[in-house]
Amino acid sequence: MSKESFSQFIRNRTRGVLFGRTRLGDFLNAMYGFRILLKYSFSQNNLRSKSNYRAFLTKQYHILEKGLSLPNPRQNFGKEKIEILLNITKEYIEKYESDKLSQLIKNCLLEYKNSNSNLSNVYPSLATSIDEFTLNHEFENIGGTKIINKAKIQNAIGINFLEFVQTRTSVRNFSPMQINYDDIKAAVDIARHAPSVCNRQAWNLHYYEDEITMKKLLFLQAGNSGFTNSIKGLFVVTSDTKQFTRLEGNQVFTDGGLFSMNLILALHSRGLGSCCLNTCVPYTTEKRIKKIANITESERLIMMIGVGYLKEEFKTAYSEKKPISEILHRH
Ligand SMILES: Cc1cc2nc3c(=O)[nH]c(=O)nc-3n(C[C@H](O)[C@H](O)[C@H](O)COP(=O)(O)O)c2cc1C
């Protein structure tokens, strides 16, 4: 929690408004995002943090798991990429020790080796490297590929997905009931199944219930007037730039947005209402939010989400949706 005085707080906020309204402000806002991307993103030759390593390795081993899941995997595919994966995983283990990620990679390599029976003849050195690296490793059925059963999916859809999605609406009038943290955890357990680029899952979810912090954050967010006091819990969704390359600047927000949507539906499934709250703020305000919310510099703000249980009956904006014809363009 920040120790600044109220007047300092107001001054900072006013400065934030000015930065959002001038050309110089526009430029500085763009530069803020650009600077964070340059400072924290990774490339194969520039792995500066454990997050960088983990993201790179996830991206690299995903090539393998994806290749193995194709209808007709090319025999002995991806030699160079697998060599890089092997080398950098070894480097990772040396620096940070073996963990679940390195175990997953080993499983993946073993599945690759098992499904390419002539690897030892075609690429003997690669086969030996995989053998040496996975020596004594017990293959577990996590990592690599898995079998999906169509009937299981159809059963899951049986709960009338259309109605479920249609009954979600932005809630700005919550029940005064305190939130049971188990419901929050259960929702996050669902939300974490969201797709992400190369399965990097770069999102973080910061959750606040204490009134003073929530009020400070909501004051800086400024799209919640009229229902600030109704909000019982507040999420700040972020994506960590450390897990993206320089070319993936937009992906920070795409993945964060997908995760947020999954979370919103997950909350809905637990009887919790939610309202997305934009974080389209000048960079000065983003910095203030990060400081108050205890969020690291490399994380970018995706959105805040106000939550609370549903009242028995409440009014919501109608929010008419565009018809299919305005959305779907058949080419
Ligand atoms: C990223 C994002 C930011 C939003 N920010 C705000 C906000 O600051 N304040 C607010 O009252 N609603 C906010 N909303 C909610 C939208 O107004 C709402 O989703 C839209 O009107 C459609 O209504 P529905 O959610 O009930 O379908 C936001 C929604 C999104 C997706």
Per-residue confidence band for 323, with pLDDT thresholds at 50, 70 and 90 = confident
Per-residue confidence band for 88, with pLDDT thresholds at 50, 70 and 90 = very high
The Cα–Cα gap between 81 and 218 comes to 46
**Residue range 224-245: mean pLDDT, rounded:** 96
**Residue range 199-213: mean pLDDT, rounded:** 97
98-104 LR contacts (CB < 8 Å, sep 24+): 101/54, 101/57, 101/58, 103/137, 103/140, 103/142, 103/143, 104/61, 104/142, 104/143
Nearest alpha-carbon partner for 310 in 276, 274, 277: 274
Which positions ≥6 away from 83 have C-beta within 8 Å? 126, 129
97, pLDDT greater than 90? yes
**Model pLDDT, residue 270:** 92
Radius of gyration over alpha carbons of the chain, in Å?
23
CA of 278 relative to ligand 1 center, distance in Å: 8
For residue 316, the ligand 1 atom closest to its alpha carbon is 26
Spatial contact of 313 and 254, defined as CB atoms under 8 Å apart: no
pLDDT in tens, 114-156: 999 999 999 999 999 999 999 987 777 777 887 777 677 666 6
For residue 321, the ligand 1 atom closest to its alpha carbon is 27
Domains by residue range for the chain, with CATH: 50-133 (no CATH), 150-309 (3.40.109.10)
Query: Using a 6 Å cutoff on CB, does residue 228 contact ligand 1?
Result: no
